[in-house]
Amino acid sequence: MINFLVDPIAFHIGPLPVYWYGIAYAVGLFASYTVLVRQARRFGQDPEIVGNGLIVIAIAALIGGRLYHVIDQWALYQHDLLKIVLPPYSGLGVYGGLITGVIAFIGLVRYHRLSGWVWADIVAPALFTMQAIGRWGNFFNQELYGPPTNLPWGIAIDCAHRVAAYPCATFPEATTAFQPLFLYESVSGLVGAALLIWLSRRRPYPLRPGDQILIFFIWYAVVRFLLENLRTGNWFVGGIPTAQLMSILFGLGAFLVLVYRHRRPAGATPDGDDPFDDEDGDEDPGLDDGEAPDSARTEDPDGASDGVEGAEPGTDLPTR
């Protein structure tokens, strides 16, 4: 097994401890920012919007993720409510962060009058990137592990971080390894990010605007649903792990939206009640670095090219 235990505290700044969990979150945000900027340029959008938008969505996701985790692990906080808001933070719930993050995202695209589905596609590989890196914070906190295993990549968990089902008296610390569920999610996020970035570079672009974010929700929901079968001490509702219920809602919901949006021919006018559609109804993504073959470019009345493959004459991608 991988018998590698790390102090959750990376270092101190004066009396203040800096935790590996927070470092993983910060590194994940930086990597996500890099992906967002590159994808924004690839889709012909203004990368200057990314900075402020990322801060707003990250804060919203942090609040939602924390609330989800506190509800999940209420027994740890009910007698000391200050632990909810004071560091060190022991965990975040992904689905809680996704819910509040999506709400903040919709507010931002409506405020800036952006094409929501195009920007959702820009965000999708960044979400996978954040998942791939941020999940390593669970490793340093000795969280998100499954049952004992003999697999060579099983990880050690000390007695203080064991769930009640795996006491050291029954499962000796020196010889017991556990399924690294955090690692499975991290690898899944890495592969998902690589796939979506690869798809966004294909010409002609093989997907419709909005397909990438829907692929993300379906992908993550399926992976999370399967991994929940290996977790112990889950938050249950009606005898079913809550994360599996959320996976069904997110995954099935994204699949139905995908089917619904593909019911009409490509390029058709979007429905007016779609909260992700900008006011001009333009959903067409740009091309890599704003460039396109001459045959795929369109000209506006002033002779400026919009660089959008397959766009109809006279349409421009809104950026602000």
What b/e string do you get for 117-144 counting C-beta neighbours within 10 Å, with b at 16 or more? bbbbbbbbbbbbbbbbbbbbbbbbbbbb
What DSSP letter does each residue of 34-85 carry, written as one string?
A: HHHHHHHHHTT--THHHHHHHHHHHHHHHHHHHHHHHHHTGGGTTT-GGGGT
Residue 263: pLDDT band by 50, 70, 90 thresholds? confident
Check residue 310 and give its pLDDT. Answer: 39
Percent of the chain beyond pLDDT 90?
A: 59
Q: What is the mean pLDDT of residues 2-25?
A: 90
Q: Return the biggest CA–CA distance within the chain.
A: 78
Q: CA-to-CA distance for 145 and 132, rounded, in angstroms?
A: 16
Span 105-153, pLDDT tens digits: 999 999 999 999 999 999 999 999 999 999 999 999 998 899 999 999 9
More confident residue, 312 or 36: 36
Residue 311: pLDDT band by 50, 70, 90 thresholds? very low
Span 57-97, pLDDT tens digits: 999 999 999 998 888 878 778 888 888 887 666 678 899 99
Residue 267: pLDDT band by 50, 70, 90 thresholds? low
Check residue 272 and give its pLDDT. Answer: 52
Half-sphere CA count of 85, side-chain side, radius 13 A: 2
- Is the entire prediction scored with pTM above 0.85? no
Residue 309: pLDDT band by 50, 70, 90 thresholds? very low
Q: What is the mean pLDDT of residues 243-262?
A: 94
More confident residue, 173 or 290: 173
Q: Where are the domains of the chain?
A: 19-145+180-265+273-296
Check residue 274 and give its pLDDT. Answer: 59
List the structure tokens of 198: 């690869």
More confident residue, 279 or 167: 167
